[in-house]
Structure 1
C-alpha cells in the first residue's frame, strides 16, 4: 500500500513538472505609456499643463467672456483678471438699470462663470454706466 502511494505521488509530481515546463501560449495585454517625456503623466492627469486638454489663461478668459455675453447680451465686460483661483470680473450694465436688476445680473454672471470655469471663484462687480 505504501509502495502504491509512493508510485502515485511520483506520477503526480512528474505530470506537474511536465505541465510546468510546457511553453505557455498567451499574449501580454499591458499598455505602455506614450513617449511624452513625462512617463505617461499627461494621460493620468488631463488638467495638467502638459496635456492638450488643458486650457490656458487666454482660453479661460475667452470661455468666461462667452459665458457672460451669451447670458447677458446687453451687458458689456469691462475687465476680467485672474489671480490664482479667483477671477475678478467687472461688468457695465445700461445706464438706467435698477439696483435689483444689477444684483440679478451679478448673481447670474457668477452662476454662469461657475458653470463655464468651475476652477475659479468669481468675484463679480456690476456698475450702471
Structure 2
C-alpha cells in the first residue's frame, strides 16, 4: 500500500507536491493549535443556580413569585401596622399572590372607626406590597 502511494506521489508534478506539502503543514498546525488553549481562553461554566447563571448575573431579578420570602413580607406588614392606633395585634397569611390580614382592633372603636382603620391599613399594605392582592378584615 505504501509503495502504491509513493509511486502515485512521484508521478505528480513538482507544483502539486509543493501544494500538497503546504496544505499538510497548515492542517497539522491548525490541529496542534486547536488542542492547546491558554488559561485565559478556556470556557467558563454557568453558575450552578438552575437558571444557567441568570441569578448570578442579575441577582435582583425575581425569577419566581416567591423570590421574596413570605416570612420577611409578613414581618414587614406587621411592622407597618404596629404604629396605627386602635390595632391590638394583626395576623398575616399568604396564599400565592393573596395577602390576607386580620386586624384585632380595640373594642372601644365604633364600626365607622373600624372601617376607616381597615381601609387605611389596606391602603398602606397595598402601596408597600404591590405584588400581592391585599385583603384586610377586622375583629374586635
TM range (shorter): 0.5 to 0.7
Superposition CA RMSD, Å: 2.4
User: Pairwise mapping of residues 92-111 of structure 1 onto structure 2 (< 5 A)?
Assistant: 92-111=104-123
Contact 1:67 1:116 in 2 (8 A): no
Question: Does residue 1:47 correspond to 2:56, yes or no?
Answer: no
Q: Which runs of 4+ in 1 moved over 2 A?
A: 32-40
Provide the secondary structure at the position in 2 that maps to 1:48.
coil
Runs of 5+ in structure 1 lacking a partner? Answer: 1-31
Contact 2:86 2:109 in 1 (8 A): no
TM-score by length of 2: 0.56
TM-score by length of 1: 0.61
Match of 1:82 among 94, 117, 122: 94
| TM-superposed deviation, 1:39 | 2.5
Q: Relative to structure 1, is the Cα distance of residues 123 and 34 closer, same or farther in structure 2, using a 3 angstrom cutoff?
A: same
Provide the secondary structure at the position in 1 that maps to 2:71.
helix
Flag the structure with more relative contact order, 1 or 2, with Cα contacts below 8 A and sequence separation at least 6: 1
Runs of 5+ in structure 2 lacking a partner? Answer: 1-43
Contact 1:106 1:125 in 2 (8 A): yes
When Rg is computed on C-alpha atoms for both structures, the one with the higher figure is 2
* Corresponding pairs, count: 92
Q: Which has the higher helix share?
A: 2
Question: Does residue 1:64 correspond to 2:77, yes or no?
Answer: yes
Contact 1:75 1:93 in 2 (8 A): yes
